[in-house]
Structures are given as C-alpha cells and as structure tokens.
C-alpha cells in the first residue's frame, strides 16, 4: 500500500462546540511537592506545570517502565501471561515493598505484574526483568534504550526497582514530564489498569494479601492507576490517571513531603482538570466511514471503520469547530485480517491535530486463488475498455 493519500473526506461539524486552548498557568493553586504536572491524555496537552522537567529520584514509579516493557513483550509474543517465572536468589534479596518471593519459587508473568501494579513489589519487578531480558543488567539497558526512544530527556535507570543502589551512588532519575509521557505510552495498553486499578487482591491461592499502595484507586472517583513511589531520597511520588465522562487525565507529583500531601495534590490536579475539560463524541465505533477495493480478495471491497469511538477532549471556555478528516487509499491487497489499519482519521481543532486514529477493515478478507484473480482482472479490463 502506497503512502499517497488518494481519497480525503472532510466532515465539518457546523454546530459550534467548545474547543481546546493551551493552559500556560504554572500552577493555579499551592503545590508543596517539588515537581508536578497535569496532562490531558488524548492530546498530551499540559494543563498544570510546576518544575516538571526537574530531575528527581522516582522510587517505585520506576516500575511503570518495567510494566511498559512487559506489555510490549506480551504484544510481540516474546512472553505470555501464563509463562512461569522462577525466582532467582538475587530477586528474592530485594528489600522494600515485596511479596516475599523464595528462591526457586514459581510465579506466572500475570501474577508478577499484579504484584508490581498493586503493591510495587521489588522482588517481582526484578524477577520479571530477569525473565524478559535474561539478566537484570540487560533489562536496565533495555529500559534506558526505551526511554531514549520515547524522548525522556531527564530519565536514567540503574535498576528495575527504584531502590537506591547498595553502597550508595547514583540511583534512578526522572522528571514529572517524562513520567507523564511514559504514562501516556503505557496507557496504550489498557490491560495494565486491571492491576493498577485493583484495590484489593491476592496471590498464592489467597494466601498472600495485596492492597493497592495508591489510595486514590479507592477514594477518588474514576482513578484506576498508575504507580506510587517512596524512598527517603525520593519522598512521596505518584503518577496517577483518572477518567470521567470520557476525559482521561494523567497527574504527576514528585517529592511530596508526606503521603497525605501527595494524595491531596493529585486530587487537586484531577479536580482542576475535570473542571476545565469535556469530551465530545464525534463518530461511533463500528460506523462505516468508507470502503476500498480489495485486490486479490475474495470480495471486491472492504468497509472501513473505527475500532473505537472517536472522541475529542475540548476545553470548556473556548469555542471552536472541530473537523474530522478521513483518508485511505483506493485499493489494498488481500489478505487482510479483520481490524487491519489501512487509513487514518484526524480530528483538527483550529487547524491543529488533536486526535489521530487508525481506520481499519471491518471484516476479514481472504486472498483469492489464481483463476479467480485472473477472472477479476479480466473483468476490470473489459469494464475499463467499454467505459
């Protein structure tokens, strides 16, 4: 399929709706934490910023990168949730928050992710790192490589736990801005919320009790993740996400003086964001937005749809007219599994792209045999001759 766009449909929404505007205020209320940031998820727009690029130790917030690499390994098929991981003596020596793994103990990837997501278990994080990369050292290299790919300019990892290195020395460093970018990438895998958003769970057949270190999961409506952190060097850190009425926010505080302040300031950030923004649904998931010729397909054409609702998040105090632009090629080649991306849908507000989504095939299209393809080609040539 070529890159050239050969069909463009522009849908104009003539009804005036409330649009998006940049928020430049550093922080509209008092923030005690050394660094803080509030981001709207769909656009990446920053609503509140306090020293968000200041490098600080992240403590267990580190484990968001561990979870991202695990989800990417799951997506690629390198590992599976049912894989059995054997805990090494090194993993079992991790201090701080843990699930008390014993050397040689077996636990599935799913249970390790549960332990990481709910209780920030250092031993689980170390064991999963070893399983994915073969060694903890190799995994840390992978963490730093992925950080560079994501443009996390103030992030450096020396371990997969967030603990200060034994004997001192430089520990992990990151910034509130970097962690918001990382959270946005991690949320491309909504399955992580089944762990980070779980208030209470258990391991080992109910023998090991787990309670989420993120109290907002229980006490703030819509909060379903992501990661807390605490060490004496890092203070109290939290990267949190919450969704209400179609608006998803990412809030970060780093080096709060107490856990109470940490939770209070995340709550303030969320309240501010939800008071400023609303979500507008533009197109329903599954709605047919076009069709394209399926070359060598068992059918002549395949319909193109959106895999999920197309929604734009709009700032309440600015009026604008969003546009939806749909582009796809006139033909694609079979075979095409259902859900194959073949085009693109953009939402523009005041000429700026706010949402980008793949346009996908509504059904599977199998490749036809040689004789059927020959017959189709002949039909097309004859049809073209007489037109």
Enumerate the active-site residues: 60, 63, 120
Q: Which two tokens stand for residue 20?
A: 């998006």
Residue in the block written with tokens 């507000």:
349
Whole-number Å distance between alpha carbons of 387 and 373: 21
- What totals of helices (H) and strands (E) does the chain contain, helices first? 10, 20
Lookup result for tokens 């079992």: 92
How far apart are the two ends of the chain, measured CA to CA in Å? 26
Please, what's the largest Cα pairwise distance for the chain?
83
**C-alpha to C-alpha distance for 87 and 104, rounded to whole angstroms:** 5
Q: Strand (E) positions, 65-115?
A: 84-86, 106-108
Question: Does residue 64 contact residue 183 with C-beta atoms inside 8 Å?
Answer: yes
Sequence-distant contacts of 105-113: CB under 8 A, at least 24 apart: 107/203, 108/81, 108/82, 108/83, 108/84, 109/70, 109/74, 109/79, 109/80, 109/81, 109/82, 109/83, 109/85, 110/81, 110/82, 111/203, 112/85, 113/67, 113/70, 113/81, 113/192, 113/195
Distance CA 338, CA 152 (A): 35
Judge contact between 333 and 304, C-beta under 8 A: no
């Amino acid at each position: 399929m070529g890159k050239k766009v050969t069909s463009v449909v522009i849908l104009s929404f003539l009804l005036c709706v409330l649009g998006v505007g940049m928020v430049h205020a550093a922080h509209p209320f008092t923030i005690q934490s050394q660094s803080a940031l509030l981001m709207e998820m769909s656009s990446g727009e920053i609503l509140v910023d306090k020293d968000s690029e200041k490098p600080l130790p992240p403590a267990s917030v580190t484990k968001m990168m561990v979870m991202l690499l695990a989800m990417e390994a799951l997506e690629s098929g390198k590992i599976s949730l049912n894989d059995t991981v054997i805990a090494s003596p090194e993993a079992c020596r991790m201090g701080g928050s843990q699930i008390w793994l014993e050397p040689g103990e077996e636990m599935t990837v799913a249970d390790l992710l549960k332990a990481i997501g709910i209780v920030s278990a250092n031993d689980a994080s170390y064991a999963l790192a070893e399983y994915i990369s073969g060694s903890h050292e190799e995994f840390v290299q992978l963490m730093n490589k992925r950080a560079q790919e994501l443009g996390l300019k103030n992030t450096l990892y020396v371990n997969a736990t967030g603990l200060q290195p034994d004997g001192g020395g430089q520990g992990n460093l990151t910034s509130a801005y970097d962690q918001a970018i990382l959270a946005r990438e991690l949320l491309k895998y909504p399955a992580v919320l089944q762990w980070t958003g779980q208030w209470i769970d258990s391991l080992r057949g109910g023998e090991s009790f787990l309670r989420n270190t993120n109290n907002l999961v229980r006490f703030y409506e819509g909060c379903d993740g992501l990661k807390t952190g605490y060490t004496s060097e890092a203070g109290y850190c939290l990267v949190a996400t919450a969704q209400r009425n179609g608006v998803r926010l990412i809030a970060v505080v780093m080096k709060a003086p107490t856990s109470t302040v940490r939770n209070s300031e995340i709550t303030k950030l969320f309240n501010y964001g939800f008071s400023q923004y609303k979500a507008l649904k533009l197109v329903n998931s599954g709605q047919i937005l076009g069709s394209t010729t399926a070359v060598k397909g068992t059918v002549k054409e395949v319909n193109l749809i959106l895999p999920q609702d197309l929604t734009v998040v709009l700032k309440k105090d600015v009026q604008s007219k969003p546009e939806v632009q749909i582009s796809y090629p006139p033909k694609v080649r079979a075979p095409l599994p259902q859900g194959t991306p073949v085009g693109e849908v953009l939402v523009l507000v005041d000429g700026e792209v706010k949402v980008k989504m793949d346009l996908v095939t509504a059904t599977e299209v199998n490749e036809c045999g040689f004789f059927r393809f020959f017959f189709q080609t002949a039909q097309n040539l004859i049809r073209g001759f007489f037109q």
